[in-house]
Structure 1
Amino acid sequence: MAAGGAGGPSPPPAAPARRDLYWLRSFVAGGVAGCCAKTTIAPLDRVKILLQAHNHHYKHLGVFSALCAVPKKEGYLGLYKGNGAMMIRIFPYGAIQFMSFDHYKKVKIYCSLYWIVVIRWGKRKAVTTSISGMTAVICTYPLDMVRVRLAFQVKGEHTYTGIVHAFKTIYAKEGGFRGFYRGLMPTIVGMAPYAGVSFFTFGTLKSVGLSHAPTLLGRPSSDNPNVLVLKTHINLLCGGVAGAIAQTISYPLDVTRRRMQLGTVLPDSEKCLTMLKTLKYVYRNHGIRGGLYRGLSLNYIRCVPSQAVAFTTYELMKQFLHLN
């Protein structure tokens, strides 16, 4: 008699059932990773926005003096202003970015950039990760716009009373839905090098580390002993390095995006209507160090733990949700 015949039904295989909900588990893993990362560096994000756009209350201050000045003027909760909108935005953003990265890297993308990367470097991740980042940005950009407007406000000078009020005001006074996409161009242009370099660097460091020192740097995955993953502290280090390199390349476009997003909130908004005009204006009036790269040191401080926590949390969530 064949096994599983008349003696009773065979138990259903577990693997196909797991694969059925793979996309949902991947979505949750990416969302949790994004929320953990942004919550970790929320105070640094607030101060960075204030410095990038030269808020008149803090424009004379440096990074650390601004971090001390915000709680004195607005209380410690002032460091988390705009974080509610950030959490609403970052869960789908992180989820879409990580999930689409896992999806796109399995698809052959026939475009010139793809062939340049594949033929010359033998890598496809630089393209797929940039596309995943753009997908996430476009879907969640209006929430980022609202978060920046709320974060730029200083206690006693509120234009918006909350997330819903900000949405209504921008829609009514700034051209409907188009108003929510101010600064999208520098965001998209900057997303390609940022997401591509970030994931590419992390993936390269991970591959090199596990190839050359698997015993020292790696350990078996908790959900699949046949898969080798980086140890947690090595994950943190690789994620931090990847984030720092990516931020350095794309930072001037990040400054440009913030100024365009703030729009009518800034007195010089008419000079920041397009990406090129904004870049020229910031460079001519504030230079490279005090303009295009203002707040970069803070960005290193916030970017390293952010990327480290994001990649590490995602790796841990993948194991917890059996994604390996």
Structure 2
Amino acid sequence: MSGNSGRLQDEGSRLQVVVAGGTAGLIARFIVAPLDVVKIRLQLQSHSLSDPLLFARNDLRGGPTYKGTLPTMRHILAHEGVAGLWKGNVPAEMLYVCYSAAQFTAYRAASVALQNAHATMGIAPHPHVDSFIAGASAGAAATAATYPLDLLRTRFAAQGSGADRVYSNLRGAVRDIARDEGLRGFFRGLGPALIQIAPYMGAFFACYEGLKPVAGRVSEHALAATVGTKSAIKSTVVGAGAGDAAAGVIAAVMAKTFVFPLDLVRKRIQVQGPTRSRYVHKNIPVYDSGVARALQTILRTEGVRGLYRGLTVSLMKAAPANAITVWTYERVLHLLVRMDEGKTTSVEASL
């Protein structure tokens, strides 16, 4: 067996992985929810204040024009209240819990399968390649399994308040989509989601696994220089998970920037259908000819900049969200493993 076998064996049982992944997703989602709402609003906006024809276009009437993260947040607070920053949080929390649990479970299963395959065939493992394959597989599986919740999250975040609300509650949204759009309506934009998630999660996990030991050593040396004794702070660094968090931030930024145009297209396709003109942005264009055609349309009408609307706030969200997720996942999983080992030791001692 390779040197990674011990690490994989220490990653806990399937139930422990599910609990740790779900807990990590729940906490991360609640903290970054306002940034997620801002990101979705900016992604759905097909115009900007720099558009010279902005005030001559009749199709912009009835919808706000956002510019920047903080102004958008202030606009939402002023017109929709604090609750407006947490729109879609119920389906989003369900999404993040289910997605994180499915993602880490699939990642662990794929990693073990790859490890066993290497051992069976007598082939030396390739850590970065294996991490990419396992991450891509985990992301695709988790995305497909939880996609309806992602679509609901987007639609709730895109709707206004009061008379401008499209759906009054989660149950009503599910009923209306099922009635008006059928089962297919819950999976609008799944194509770009799967195209996006494979390279995104593959790149994320590959970067994360590669950067984690390096980030850990950098954090250790930095704190050692400050405190004065490397040995005195080593346990503190490991306990705090500085390397995990730093690696998660860098990996998230690199991966998210790479696939962002596909994420933008996915959001715009998710709000297509009979309710398209009823969201905060009343002028969302029609995209019904596939991912490639949607990308071409955005490039033609909005330029390259149009493919990256909301990238700044997306990176602001992705970095802490992934850092919090992997940090919490590692801490919760280690806690569950230690608790399980403690119970086993107690049972053995009683015998």
Q: TM-score, normalised by structure 2?
A: 0.76
The answer to whether 1:24 aligns with 2:15 is yes
**Structure number with higher helix proportion:** 2
Partner of 2:40: 49
- Cα 1:203–1:119 shift into 2, 3 Å: closer
- CA distance in 2 between counterparts of 1:58 and 1:32 reads 36
Greater RCO, CA 8 A, separation 6+? 2
- Equivalent in the alignment of 2:264: 255
How many residue pairs are counted as aligned between the two chains? 292
Q: Which residue pairs with 1:303 in the alignment?
A: 318
CA distance in 1, matches of 2:189, 2:208: 27
Aligned counterparts of 2:253 and 2:177: Cα–Cα separation in 1: 33
Instruction: Indicate if the aligned counterparts of 2:36 and 2:317 stay in contact, CA closer than 8 A.
Output: yes
Q: Find the counterpart in structure 1 of residue 309 from structure 2.
A: 294
**Residue 276 (structure 1) aligns with:** 292
Offset at residue 231 of structure 1 (A)? 4.1
State how far apart, in whole Å, the 2-side matches of 1:89 and 1:184 are: 15
Unaligned 5+ runs, structure 2: 1-8, 47-59, 118-123, 224-232, 278-282, 342-351
Which residue of the partner structure matches residue 243 of structure 1?
252
Counterpart-to-counterpart distance in 1, 2:128 and 2:44: 40
| Other-structure match for 2:336 | 321
- 1:107 is paired with a residue whose SS is helix
Q: Say whether the 8 Å CA contact 1:252–1:292 is kept in structure 2.
A: yes
CA distance in 2, matches of 1:213, 1:147: 36
Matches within 5 A, 1:78-157: 78-108=84-114, 123-155=129-161, 156-157=163-164
Q: C-alpha deviations, 1:255-298, integer Å up to 9, x for none?
A: 00000001131455533441112111211111111x10011111
Equivalences for 1:172-251 in 2 at 5 Å? 172-174=179-181, 176-209=182-215, 219=234, 231-251=240-260
1:35 is matched with 26
Q: Which amino acid aligns with 2:110?
A: Y
Identity %: 30
What amino acid maps onto 1:280 in structure 2? Q
Question: 1:151 and 1:143 mapped to 2: Cα distance?
Answer: 12
- Say whether residues 1:74 and 2:89 are aligned partners: no
State the Cα deviation string for residues 84-108 of structure 1 (Å, max 9, x = none).
Answer: 1101111111001011111110113
- Normalising by structure 1, we get a TM-score of 0.82
Match of 1:114?
A: none
Which one-letter code corresponds to 2:297 in the other structure?
Y
Deviation of 1:234 after TM superposition, in Å, equals 3.0
Distance 1:181 1:270 in 2: 17
Cross-structure match for 2:175: 168
For 2:318, the aligned partner's letter is C
Q: Identify which range, 55-64 or 181-190, moves more after superposition.
A: 55-64
How many Å apart are 1:207 and its aligned residue?
3.2
